[in-house]
Amino acid sequence: MDAAFTEEQHEIRRTLRELLLKRCGPDEVKAAVRTPAGYDTQLWQQLAGRLGLPGLALPTAYGGVGCGPTELALACEETGRAVLPSPLMATAALAAPLILALGSERQRTAWLPALAAGQLTATLAVPGGRLATALALTGPNDGGWAGGGRAGGIQARRAPQECEAVPSKNGGRPAGGGWRLYGEAGQVLNGHTAEVLVVAAHTGGFAHSRTLLFLVRAAAGGGDARSGTEPGVPGLLRTRQTALDETRPQARLELRDVPAELLGEGDGDEAAVAGALAATGVTAAAALAAEAVGAADSALARTVAHVQQREQFGRPIGSFQAVQHRLADLYVRLQAARSAAYYAAWSAGGGLSAPGGAAGPYGAAEPGVGALALAQALESLRAVAAEAVQLHGGIGFTWEHEAHLYFKRAACDELLLGPVHRLRARAAEEAGLFPDGAEEPGGAGEPGRSGEPAGAPGRTAAVEV
């Protein structure tokens, strides 16, 4: 493994950092999150057009830059440093990799170039707030998390034949591809503005239960938030939700017989869907870990600058050894998290530079590496953000202070793909730290003394040590 970054990777970081320093200060962030879209659409277009940010990890054959997860993680580190509100995570780390991995050639050609150019944004909608489960970050994703054949979740059914014959505006293909979706999903990242929805839905009823992914063209135009039935999309209701972290806008989607198209060819392959979601989970975990590292680095730098200027008892408070020790501990945790995030991104790319024309995953990542890196990064960001509030003193406790941007990002990121102890438990399970016969009394697959199943999060303490 060559740990040194290439000149191209350094250039991506430098260019993005310079642009965000000019366009994305704390005041600009607070103004952007209060717009209907929840982010600065002009800045997003500049990032897409000038840097090709949404297409950074997409092959050149589909309009992307042709880089890989490492470059995407480096970009996310810089966006995290600025606490940038944008659809980057939803589009580039969640939706686009799934379309690339599972989509037919027609679907890839139709959607990926527009996503790479920033003309469209996309997101992944998972019912029940089970995004971490769907991505296999906190447990196996082979269960009925999308509905399970019972009430709740999102259900998919084939449309009547007369509906399949209705032409659509999208290249003359049948509207919705012969499927209809019914259900609800909450906590969907950028769900109120995304033009392309990748929806996880259950189909087949109880006897032939399976979870597949579907494409929904959610809006004819882009950018404006809505609360109401979409024009041209019958049955789709999107409502922006109030979130603690305003820089990560979320929405609730209600689907009432919404036309959809199956992602992929044929009748769908549940095993392939589960595998693609798990591979996407590793990339998304590495990107989110790098973003958390960038946010923690920025919060620590601001805190160090403050303690060097703030005086108490006739001297800067940063000169007191107790404060220095606290900052030194944070620095060590931050560097450990950065190394873990970089390694996870490298592993997500198969340990190789991404080939520009590849049409699928670059290789199998090391088991548990994404979840473990994300757990390390989230813990580091939480610790740094809490100390930033404390060491800023009275001003740090005011809701308007910029320290709260990092504090709220730390809290909501763990809710999004955590919690940390379940990430670590899943990483231990994938890495085989608890092989068959080496578990608590009860044996492999048997309930332990506490009545929990083997490999349950209750044994996290052993992993954390």
Which tens digits make up the pLDDT trace of 316-346?
A: 888 899 999 999 999 999 999 999 999 999 9
Given a cut of 50, is residue 173 above it in pLDDT? no
Given a cut of 60, is residue 175 above it in pLDDT? no
Give the model's pLDDT for residue 164: 45
Residue 387 lies in a domain: yes
Euclidean distance between CA atoms 15 and 7, whole angstroms: 12
Give the model's pLDDT for residue 432: 86
Mean pLDDT throughout 212-235? 67
Given a cut of 80, is residue 273 above it in pLDDT? yes
CATH number at residue 288: 1.20.140.10
Given a cut of 70, is residue 397 above it in pLDDT? yes
Residue 149 lies in a domain: no
Split into its structural domains, the chain has a count of: 1
Residue 277 lies in a domain: yes
- In which band, very low, low, confident or very high, does the pLDDT at 182 lie, cut at 50, 70 and 90? very high
- Token readout for 443 is 């044996």
Give the model's pLDDT for residue 2: 63
Given a cut of 90, is residue 148 above it in pLDDT? no
Mean pLDDT throughout 19-38? 93
Give the model's pLDDT for residue 95: 97
Euclidean distance between CA atoms 1 and 4, whole angstroms: 9
Is the pLDDT higher at 132 or at 362?
A: 132
Residue 386 lies in a domain: yes
Give the model's pLDDT for residue 261: 94
Is the pLDDT higher at 303 or at 350?
A: 303
Mean pLDDT throughout 113-132? 94
First to last CA, the chain: 27
Given a cut of 60, is residue 77 above it in pLDDT? yes
Mean pLDDT throughout 102-128? 95
- In which band, very low, low, confident or very high, does the pLDDT at 206 lie, cut at 50, 70 and 90? low
DSSP 54: G
Which tens digits make up the pLDDT trace of 44-53?
A: 999 999 889 9
Give the model's pLDDT for residue 436: 63
- In which band, very low, low, confident or very high, does the pLDDT at 162 lie, cut at 50, 70 and 90? very low
Given a cut of 60, is residue 297 above it in pLDDT? yes
Euclidean distance between CA atoms 95 and 280, whole angstroms: 9
Proportion of the chain above pLDDT 90, given as a percent:
63
Residue 183 lies in a domain: no
Least confident of 158-167, 212-221, 326-335: 158-167
Residue 118 lies in a domain: no
Residue 71 lies in a domain: no
In a 13 Å sphere around the CA of 444, the CA atoms on its Cβ side amount to: 8
- Token readout for 164 is 């399949």
Which tens digits make up the pLDDT trace of 409-456?
A: 999 999 989 899 999 999 999 888 877 644 444 433 333 333 344 434
Reference 39, options 399, 346, 47; nearest CA is 47
Q: Which residue segment(s) compose the domain that 338 sits in?
A: 272-355+365-431
Residue 147 lies in a domain: no
